């Protein structure tokens, strides 16, 4: 019904009844609208003035005042433009507030925690969100021991790389911020071709990516983020293209140990070309 749609647009019941009445009758005085719509007399001028402010009615400042509906297509487009302006202003105010809050938070001195290790585990549907968060959080560098299935590495339908610790859209955003990405993969059938295709898809951000490979399989898959976080991935031993879980650990000592292990593997790994 039209009444319900106008209410969804933001009009109240009195405004809807008044607007439809004037649409049907052309030009009306407030007293006529009051009598024929059962809107209380104490509310009728407030209601009609609100419709004028919203750009749905024209007012003739005579005695008594008369009201006429604007051409609906013009009025509703104007209503949309005003609504958009208000929302844009509200959104900009929210952005400024967030920036201000961020600046205030940055001034807070964080105490050294008593326990230096913190961890979080994701399973099932939680895994993609952790993958996205990992790339959103990285500021400088991410080092990855990458699990690649023997078959298709890139799933073109989902636009996501099928492996333990990478998703293409979020990875691209990180690279565009200047993040450096180093990946060591196991040499599998089609791996080199797939890696080259991946780099080609990235375009310019691929300058920040280097991929190497080794012949021997990994004992585990892990990633080190900015030398203070570690992400360990557990692969399904039956369906090796699937992840069972991911655990992210905030521990600088563990990150340093695994980063050192990664550097040794990196130095002995083979370049793509």
CA distance 169 to 143: 18
CA distance 53 to 98: 31
Lowest mean pLDDT among 26-40, 186-200, 231-245: 186-200
pLDDT digits (tens, 9 = 90+) for 47-88: 999 999 888 999 998 888 899 998 888 888 888 888 899 999
Establish whether domains 2-69 and 118-271 are of one fold: no
pTM above the 0.85 mark? Answer: no
Residue ranges of domains in the chain: 2-69, 118-271
pLDDT value, residue 164: 40
Whether pLDDT at 170 is above 70: yes
pLDDT value, residue 260: 93
Mean pLDDT across 35-48: 90
pLDDT value, residue 108: 86
pLDDT value, residue 240: 66
Whether pLDDT at 162 is above 50: no
CATH for the 118-271 domain, from 3.30.70.100, 3.40.50.620, 3.30.565.10, 3.30.870.10: 3.30.870.10
Both tokens assigned to 10: 């933001």
2-69 in CATH: which number?
A: 1.10.10.10
Whether pLDDT at 192 is above 70: no
Both tokens assigned to 193: 């071709």
pLDDT value, residue 1: 83
pLDDT, mean over the chain: 82
* DSSP labels, 127-186: HHHHHHHHHHH-SSEEEEEE---SS--EETTTTEE-SSS--HHHHHHHHHTT-EEEEEEE
């Amino acid at each position: 019904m039209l009444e319900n749609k106008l209410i969804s647009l933001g009009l109240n019941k009195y405004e809807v009844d008044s607007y439809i009445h004037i649409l049907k009758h052309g030009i009306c005085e407030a007293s006529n609208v009051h009598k024929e719509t059962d809107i209380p007399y104490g509310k009728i001028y407030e209601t009609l003035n609100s419709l004028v402010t919203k750009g749905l009615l024209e007012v003739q400042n005579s005695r008594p005042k008369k009201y006429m509906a604007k051409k609906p297509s013009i009025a509703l487009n104007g209503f949309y433009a005003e609504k958009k302006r208000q929302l844009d202003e509200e959104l900009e105010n929210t952005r400024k507030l967030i920036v201000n809050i961020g600046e205030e938070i940055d001034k807070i001195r964080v105490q050294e925690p008593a326990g230096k290790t913190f961890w979080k585990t994701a399973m099932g549907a939680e895994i993609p969100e952790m993958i996205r968060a990992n790339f959103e959080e990285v500021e400088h560098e991410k080092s990855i021991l990458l699990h690649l299935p023997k078959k298709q590495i890139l799933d073109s339908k989902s636009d996501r790389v099928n492996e333990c610790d990478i998703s293409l859209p979020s990875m691209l955003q990180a690279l565009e911020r200047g993040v450096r990405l180093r990946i060591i993969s196991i040499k599998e059938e089609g791996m080199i071709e797939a890696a080259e295709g991946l780099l080609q898809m990235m375009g310019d951000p691929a300058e920040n990516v280097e991929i190497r490979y080794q012949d021997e399989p990994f004992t585990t898959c892990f990633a080190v983020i900015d030398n203070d976080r570690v992400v360990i991935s557990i692969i399904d031993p039956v369906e090796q293209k699937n992840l069972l879980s991911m655990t992210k650990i905030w521990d600088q000592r563990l990150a340093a140990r695994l980063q050192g292990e990664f550097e040794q593997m990196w130095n002995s790994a083979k370049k793509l070309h």
